[in-house]
């Protein structure tokens, strides 16, 4: 059962989620804001760019969260607004899996800036217009 349904049914008192449209009867209070960053495998051509543009990113395939997730909607909307095609290498249903796929060279990904990485991944600041 989704947390919105559980809140409305009185099964939960609080849910920590990303901001999105809320069902009637629920209220959103920001807990914190988190920018996003691009991650690429070490040695990737984008790793040398100081601040890649969306046009730079459009030349690469993405490892992306499942359809319906807030992160995916933000990424798709940014590409759509810019009139660019988003190439999806693979859809992954967990952030740890996303990191491992990027490290393996499957594609690039957009993740939360507060993440920390061990080895094999470079992170870059970027602006996607959200």
Please state the domain extents for the chain: 1-33, 36-124
> What pLDDT was estimated at residue 71?
84
What burial letters (b/e) apply to 106-127, b meaning 16+ CB within 10 Å? bbbbbbeeeeeeeeebbebebe
Quick: pLDDT tens for 67-78: 888 788 889 999
> What pLDDT was estimated at residue 28?
82
pLDDT at 109 over 60: yes
Q: What is the pTM of this model?
A: 0.75
β-bridge partners, 111: 37
| Class of the domain covering 36-124 | alpha beta
pLDDT at 34 over 80: no
Confidence of residue 59 (pLDDT cuts 50, 70, 90): very high
């Amino acid at each position: 059962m989704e947390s919105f349904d559980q809140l409305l049914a009185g099964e939960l008192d609080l849910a920590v989620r990303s901001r999105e449209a809320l069902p009637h009867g629920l209220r959103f209070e920001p807990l914190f804001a988190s920018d996003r960053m691009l991650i690429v495998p070490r040695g990737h051509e984008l790793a040398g760019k100081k601040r890649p543009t969306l046009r730079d990113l459009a030349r690469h395939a993405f490892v992306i969260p499942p359809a319906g997730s807030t992160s995916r909607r933000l990424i798709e909307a940014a590409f759509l607004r810019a009139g660019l095609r988003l190439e999806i290498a693979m859809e992954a249903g967990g952030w740890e899996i996303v990191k491992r796929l990027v490290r393996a060279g499957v594609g690039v990904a957009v993740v939360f800036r507060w993440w920390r990485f061990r080895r094999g991944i470079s992170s870059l600041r970027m602006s996607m217009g959200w």
